[in-house]
Amino acid sequence: MAGLQWGGRFASTPDASLLAFGSSLGDDLFIARFDALCSLGHVAALRGGGIISDDDAAVLTDALNVVSAEIADGSFNAWAIGQSFEDVHGAIDARVRELAGKAGERLHAGRSRNDQVATTLQLYAREMATNGARLALDIAALCEDRATVALERQTLLAATTHWQPAQPVLLALWLDALAQSFVRAAERFVSVAADATRFCPLGSAALAGSSLPLDRDAAARVLGFAAPSRNSLDAVGDRDVVLDLLNAVMRATVSASRASEELVIWATPAFGYIRLDDAASTGSSLMPQKRNPDPFELVRGAGARSIGTYAGAVASINGMALSYHRDLQETKSLVIHGVGAGLAALDAFRRAFAHVHFNHVEMTARAGAGYTVATDLADAVILAGATAREAHRAVGERVLAAEEEGRPLDREDARRLGVPEAPVDPLGSVLGKRTSGSTHPDAVAASIAQTREEMAALSKGLS
Ligand code: ARG
């Protein structure tokens, strides 16, 4: 059992199957490069505290840089897989000992895998949260670019509630709505990335801190943290940052899922509101005519997976005593796979969305179908002095009559309601809106401008 970091107090070797069951190496390889960085932080703590010589620190730093390069080119993974390592911490430690000899044997002084994995996960969360923020902002930018075009064209959409025609809106309102949900997602990611720079767990050791004079400030500084963590027991068991990361991924994925549902329906011939490029469509193995919007269906499903993964990760910690317990390895696995799948879904959404072409003419032509101007007529009747109840009933009766006669609401209906000037067409409905935040073109333009400012501020913070 050469790969293990312990063994002196054991009289016999572990059951190989149980060791394999307990190994997190497969998952850990996704975070190996952050674990190598984490070790560089620990070298700074050892050196700053005078626990190792400057020469040893230089040898260890060189070895860890070699390991980082081997992780980047894939050779470290190939080397580690198939050996009996419990985790990436043991694998990197073994490789460092191969490269650095005696100095390599000094690396693990005053450190536990408990403070190590807690630190590595924060470094991982920082980068993944930044990636998530960039993806969310890219999607928001695509939405607002398209919103600007749709606003210029005054493209109309019969917006629905219960999937029934409700009221005419600008397509730009829908696109700006989607942009706003992704801006909120970006804000969550940015806040997770910031939280992941606050407290460095290194030096917390197994759970109680260390009797070695580790320079925790140096470790925190090298790894870009504001300060060392204040409580060793909390630091080794706390997974709030990665749970918040997974939550942000889940929320963004759910936003993409909801938009995907609408895009899937809009791509059907029955709607015909959008056309998806061949590049983002797939065919049927049987039906020669099919063009399916698979990426959006998969993203719709990815939302469900991310909810399950988040719930599983939180559940894995629920009821767990403070400090490190091995269940946290399950938490870590769920986080790594959940974040990987969720960010992949966001990237797919971004790519597929760029292949959507809106059928501005068809959408606008159908915006009045289903008596979507009825509410505007009722509003006009109220403004003329009627109560809400009276107006609702009177317009409802006009809708019933029009439906029986197989025609839309028209100027004659408006006249009979005593509001001859009221809008009976979808564009008139949109132009008649007066509240801030409404679908009126001026309100939508203001919202797009504001959203773009928020996006610019968030992007600036990321660069
Ligand atoms: N493989 C472990 C994990 O992923 C690393 C920490 C193990 N700590 C321990 N005391 N066994 O959580």
Confidence of residue 7 (pLDDT cuts 50, 70, 90): confident
Mean pLDDT of 193-222: 98
- Look at residue 1 in the predicted model and tell me its pLDDT: 57
- Which residue spans within 296-398 are E strands per DSSP? 356-358
- The yes-or-no answer on residue 284 being catalytic is yes
3-state secondary structure of 117: helix
Residue 309, phi-psi category: left (phi > 0), alpha (psi -120 to 50), beta (remainder): alpha
Smallest Cα–Cα separation from 348: which of 138, 38, 41, 190? 138
Which residues have CB under 8 Å from 53's CB, separation 6+? none
- Look at residue 84 in the predicted model and tell me its pLDDT: 84
Encode pLDDT of 62-121 as tens digits.
999 999 999 999 999 999 998 889 999 999 999 999 999 999 999 999 999 999 999 999
Q: Whose CA is nearest to atom 11 of ligand 1?
A: 326
**Tokens describing residue 72:** 């980047």
Smallest Cα–Cα separation from 338: which of 301, 312, 299? 312
Rounded CA gap, 41 and 34, in Å? 11
Report yes or no: 118 and 204 within 8 Å, Cβ to Cβ. Answer: yes
Catalytic residue among 12, 89, 255, 284: 284
Encode pLDDT of 170-181 as tens digits.
999 999 999 999
Alpha helices, DSSP H only, in 199-239? 216-222, 232-237
Query: Token match 């895009």: residue?
Result: 263
Q: Please provide the CATH number assigned to the domain covering 16-109.
A: 1.10.275.10
3-state secondary structure of 170: strand
Report yes or no: 368 and 376 within 8 Å, Cβ to Cβ. Answer: no
Answer whether 332 contacts ligand 1 (Cβ < 6 A). Answer: yes
The architecture of the domain spanning 114-365 is: Up-down Bundle (1.20)
Rounded CA gap, 42 and 364, in Å? 62
28, 111, 114, 334: which to mutate for ligand 1, most atoms within 8 A of CB? 114
- Look at residue 2 in the predicted model and tell me its pLDDT: 63
Q: How many angstroms does the Cα of residue 332 sit away from the middle of ligand 1?
A: 10
Rounded CA gap, 41 and 218, in Å? 7
Which residues have CB under 8 Å from 46's CB, separation 6+? 52, 57, 106, 107, 109, 110, 212, 214, 215
Domain-wise residue ranges, the chain:
16-109, 114-365
Encode pLDDT of 295-317 as tens digits.
999 999 999 999 999 999 999 99
Q: Among positive and negative, which fits the CA dihedral 270, 275, 277, 280?
A: negative
